[in-house]
Structure 1
Amino acid sequence: MERLCLDCKEPLKGRTDKKFCDDACRNNFNNRIKSEDNLVIRHINTILRRNRSILAMLNPTGKTKVSLKKLQLANFNFEYHTNIYTTQTGNTYYFIYEYGFMNLSETEFLLVKREEK
C-alpha cells in the first residue's frame, strides 16, 4: 500500500512512519487544522472587541446611563460578555473585560468601568 502525504497527497519516500513530504506540507496541514478550530474563537473575540469598544465609546467618564436604542444602533450584542458580577444588593452587572453594563429598566442601562487595583 502506497503511503501519501497528508497535505499534498504525493507519494511518500523514506521512513515508514513518515506523514508529510517536507516541513512545508507539515506546516500547511497543521495551520489548516488550527485555523478551522479557531474560526469560532475568532468570531467570538470579534464580537467581544466590538462590544468593548461600544461600551468605551458610550462611557467616557467611567459611569453613565444610556438608552437601549443607542446600544442597539451601535450593534451591541447582549449575548456575549466575559463575566457576570452580582452585588450584595442583588444587582447584576455584565462585563466585557473592564467595561460593564446593568439593566436599569426596559429601555435604560447603566454603563460602568471597573478600575483595576
Structure 2
Amino acid sequence: MNLERKKCLSCGKELTGRSDKKYCDNHCKSSFQYQQSKTAAPRFYNKVDNQLKLNRKLLKHYNRAGKAIIRSKVLLEQGFDPNFFTHYWKNQKGDIYWFVYEFGFLKKKEYNAEKYVLIIWQDYMAMK
C-alpha cells in the first residue's frame, strides 16, 4: 500500500479526495497549464499566424495612400518576411504581387536598391 500522499502539481498542497486527482482546485489546474504553455515551443500554426499579422501590420503602416514604394531594408529590419503571404495576383505585364490579406507587395530593383511596391487589393483583381 502506498502511504505517500499526492501533492498538487501547481502549489504543492497535499491532495484529498479522488486517487487520480492532480490539482487542488481549478485555479491551480489553470495556473499549471499556463506555466507549461509558456515553456513549450510555439506551435507551427502560431508562428505562421504571428508572422502574417506582423507582415500585414507593416504593409498597412507603410501604405496609407493605397500605393507606396519603400526600400525593402526598412521592412526587413522591422521583422517583415516576404515568404509569408496569403495569396498572389499576376498583372497583365506578368508582375506577381504577393498579398497578406488585403495588402500586397511587389519586389523591384530600382537604381541598385531593392524596393517594394505596396498596393491594396482592388475588386478588379478578383479571378473571374
Q: Same fold, TM exceeding 0.5?
A: yes
Secondary structure (helix, strand or coil) at the match of 1:110 reads: strand
Residue 58 of structure 1 aligns with an amino acid whose one-letter code is Y
User: Which of residues 44, 53, 56 is equivalent to 1:52?
Assistant: 56
Aligned CA-pair RMSD = 3.3
Contiguous gaps of at least 5 residues in structure 2: none
Closer, same or farther in 2 for the Cα pair 1:49/1:67, shift >3 Å? same
Closer, same or farther in 2 for the Cα pair 1:43/1:58, shift >3 Å? same
User: Which of residues 13, 17, 28 is equivalent to 2:20?
Assistant: 17
TM score, norm. by length of structure 2: 0.64
Residue 29 of structure 2 aligns with an amino acid whose one-letter code is R
Whether the 8 Å contact between 2:87 and 2:101 is mirrored in structure 1 is: no
TM score, norm. by length of structure 1: 0.69
Secondary structure (helix, strand or coil) at the match of 2:36 reads: helix
Q: Is 1:110 aligned to residue 113 of structure 2?
A: no
Closer, same or farther in 2 for the Cα pair 1:35/1:79, shift >3 Å? farther
Secondary structure (helix, strand or coil) at the match of 2:117 reads: strand
Q: Deviations over 1:10-69 (max 9, x none)?
A: 221111121111122112112223444585637962x54443333223212212322334
Which residue is equivalent to 1:87?
A: 90
Q: Is 1:101 aligned to residue 108 of structure 2?
A: no
Percent of residue pairs bearing the same amino acid type: 28
